[in-house]
Amino acid sequence: MCPLLLTSDPLPPVNFLLHEVPLPFPHLPLSLTRCPRLLVSSVPTQLRPTLRFLTSVGLVLNSHTTLLLVSDVENTLKPKINFLQSLGFDEPEVNRMVVRSPGLLTLSVENNMSPKAEFFLEEMEGDLEELKRFPQYFSFSLEKKIKPRHRALVEYGVQIAVVKGVKD
């Protein structure tokens, strides 16, 4: 899967993960198993700038989220942040959503987030407050979970009212 592992020096990325992230040593194997590309990524040009970006939005990295470090800030992470802001969320709201659901940063805007947002806002007549409270909505399959469940609720006449002004 990652032949560069055979020729690269894993020590700089490992030191980075342990000392700059900082990832507890027992969590290192899981991080590297989930994302071997961490071991072949440049600390100064890839890992460190991405860590700065992720921490600037308030994300604290762990063994499940270190895979985000191999993402390109300008071409991968910022477009997702920009998409959420284009829906009407302000920067602090988007940051809270990302902290609550870091998986948002792994989703495709075109193939995942945009169709789900459109379905939620138009078909389900949802509002942004609901998405703020439950950003994990974007992690569910539109065709296999969201649409069938919404159809079932409509068929049974179930209305899910949103209580305005209630904080979670």
Going from N- to C-terminal start, the domains of the chain cover 1-71, 72-168
pTM (predicted TM-score): 0.84
Identify the weakest region by mean pLDDT among 46-50, 92-96, 114-118, 121-125: 121-125
The answer, yes or no, to whether residue 75 has pLDDT greater than 60, is yes
One-character DSSP codes across the chain: --GGGGTS--HHHHHIIIIISPPPGGGHHHHHHH-GGGGGS-IIIIIHHHHHHHHHTTPPP-TTTGGGGGS-IIIIIHHHHHHHHHTT--HHHHHHHHHH-GGGGGS-IIIIIHHHHHIIIIIS---HHHHHH-GGGGGS-IIIIIHHHHHHHHHTT------TT---
Burial class of residue 135 in the structure, from the number of CB atoms within 10 Å of its CB (0-12 exposed, 13-18 middle, 19+ buried): buried
Query: What is the rounded average pLDDT of the residues 53-66?
Result: 96
The answer, yes or no, to whether residue 109 has pLDDT greater than 60, is yes
- The pLDDT of residue 2 is 67
One-character DSSP codes across 39-85: GGS-IIIIIHHHHHHHHHTTPPP-TTTGGGGGS-IIIIIHHHHHHHH
* C-alpha span between 61 and 63 (Å, rounded): 7
The answer, yes or no, to whether residue 1 has pLDDT greater than 90, is no
Q: How many CB atoms lie within 10 A of CB 168?
A: 6
The answer, yes or no, to whether residue 168 has pLDDT greater than 80, is no
The answer, yes or no, to whether residue 165 has pLDDT greater than 60, is no
The answer, yes or no, to whether residue 160 has pLDDT greater than 70, is no
Chain segment 3-40, per-residue pLDDT in tens: 776 678 899 999 999 999 999 999 999 999 999 999 99
Quote the mean pLDDT of the chain: 91
The answer, yes or no, to whether residue 163 has pLDDT greater than 50, is no
The answer, yes or no, to whether residue 105 has pLDDT greater than 90, is yes
- The pLDDT of residue 164 is 43
Query: What is the rounded average pLDDT of the residues 79-87?
Result: 96
